[in-house]
């Protein structure tokens, strides 16, 4: 019996889809859920927290490639969460994208400017968030 070599059809790691882990923090549960599904379709593994306290616990327990975070939230605001999260995980400091409807507020604007953070004003086109994330993670 003659055996002929068969072409190698195994999936190589370079052909595999690479998933990036995201933490999405927003107290608007409906928006968070919608963004979670949309970003999952873009090959992001999305973990959701509905306030800064919950997000802080998740940052302690998990490693994320990036964080998408609302600024105005109950319990622990996004700016306060950012300051604590970057102490725990310094590599996350430049991997935040803030989403806010309050960028014109002087205190929030000062925070965004001082930290040189990326941010999007609500409401924003979803494609802007996707593009911003892809650029941030390149």
What residue ranges of the chain have pLDDT lower than 70? 1-16
- The domains located in the chain, with CATH, are 18-137 (3.40.50.2300)
Nearest to 120 by CA among 26, 12, 5, 3: 26
What does the pLDDT read at residue 17?
72
What does the pLDDT read at residue 71?
95
**Helix, strand or coil for residue 120?**
strand
pTM: 0.86
């Amino acid at each position: 019996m003659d055996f002929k070599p068969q072409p190698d059809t195994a999936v190589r790691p370079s052909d595999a889809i690479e998933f990036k882990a995201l933490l999405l923090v927003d107290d608007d549960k409906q928006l968070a859920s919608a963004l979670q599904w949309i970003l999952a379709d873009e090959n992001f593994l999305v973990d959701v927290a509905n306030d800064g306290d919950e997000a802080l616990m998740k940052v302690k327990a998990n490693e994320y490639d990036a964080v998408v975070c609302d600024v105005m939230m109950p319990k622990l605001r996004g700016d306060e969460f950012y300051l604590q999260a970057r102490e725990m995980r310094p590599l996350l400091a430049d991997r935040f994208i803030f989403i806010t409807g309050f960028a014109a507020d002087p205190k929030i604007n000062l925070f965004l400017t001082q930290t040189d953070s990326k941010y999007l004003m609500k409401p924003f086109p979803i494609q802007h968030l996707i593009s911003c994330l892809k650029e941030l993670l390149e």
